[in-house]
Amino acid sequence: MDWFWALRARLGLDPAVNKGIEGEDAVAGKLAEKGWFRVKGLCLRNLYLPAGQEGTAEIDLAYLTRRGIYVIESKNYSGWIFGREEEAEWVLSVYAGRDWLGRIKTEKHPFYNPLWQNRGHIRALEALTGPDVPLWSVVVFPGRCHLADVEWDSEDTQVCLLEQLPRALRRMGRRTLSRGQVRRLYEQLQPYTRASWGEKKAHIRQVRRLEKARARDGGPGRCPWCGGALVLRTARRGSQAGRQFYGCIHYPDCTYTQEL
């Protein structure tokens, strides 16, 4: 049935995939606004870069400026975000209704550290651009979320909400590249936005293999339908009430489940 879910994603029928695309659209739209901040540049989306034995690395957005290249990872989540740079997993806490006393309940969903994820993207990009081009790591949460407790120490890194993106970019770097250099970098990287469907499918298979390997180390891995994290859930209704299982973090947009 892999062909069925691949076709859904390709035709835009998968709500979870659409949610990710909507988040990238929001970030790209923010970057395209005129006169809103002093870091003007050129934007490339969905670059599939060679990453050695790891296969390929997919960059959501690369924003090329005279300050260098901002490598942007978009996470379109809703809820409260908790995480630190040195932790392998961050946590998304979402509203889960109220208990019988009327107290608010929350569900905690772990997801892979996006700063670690972006490090792999930057390594692949640096192999193409060379060490003389400044590369900056930016993780943006365009959804309805709150950075409740997020910490990082690296000076070349920023984590922010969509509305905080202009300030985040201004904080990093200074003009070290000429306009001609920026244009040449754009022309060099633009072909990597034209990955074929076969190349994209191979990248998806690669991500699934990595997640299966991570699952063997003690975690449930990733959703094979949309790539979201699998989290422990408990059925609340019906004949299966009380049964625990793994479900996709993007539920109800994605309804994949996995037995314990």
Which tens digits make up the pLDDT trace of 205-232? 777 776 666 655 555 566 666 555 667 7
Query: By percentage, how much of the chain surpasses pLDDT 90?
Result: 42
Using an 8 Å Cβ cutoff, are 147 and 159 in contact? yes
pLDDT of residue 162: 95
More confident residue, 241 or 54: 241
Average the pLDDT over 227-238 and give the result: 70
Average the pLDDT over 44-51 and give the result: 92
For the cut 50, the answer to whether the pLDDT of residue 187 exceeds it is yes
pLDDT of residue 4: 46
pLDDT of residue 64: 95
Closest CA to 17 of 27, 31, 6: 6
For the cut 90, the answer to whether the pLDDT of residue 259 exceeds it is no
For the cut 70, the answer to whether the pLDDT of residue 15 exceeds it is no
Average the pLDDT over 13-41 and give the result: 76
pLDDT of residue 201: 79
What lies within 8 Å, CB to CB, of 243 at 6+ separation is 234, 235
pLDDT of residue 225: 61
Lowest mean pLDDT of 9-23, 69-83, 146-160, name the range.
9-23
For the cut 70, the answer to whether the pLDDT of residue 7 exceeds it is no
More confident residue, 236 or 221: 236
Longest CA pairwise span in the chain (Å): 66
pLDDT of residue 258: 78
106-142 pLDDT, tens digit each: 889 998 899 988 988 998 999 999 999 999 999 999 9
Q: CA distances (Å), 4 to each of 1, 11, 203, 210, in order?
A: 5, 11, 17, 22
pLDDT of residue 2: 41
pLDDT of residue 73: 96
pLDDT of residue 3: 46
Using an 8 Å Cβ cutoff, are 145 and 162 in contact? no
Distance CA 115, CA 109 (A): 17
Helices (H) and strands (E) in the chain, counts: 6, 12
pLDDT of residue 27: 93
Mean per-residue pLDDT over the chain, rounded: 82
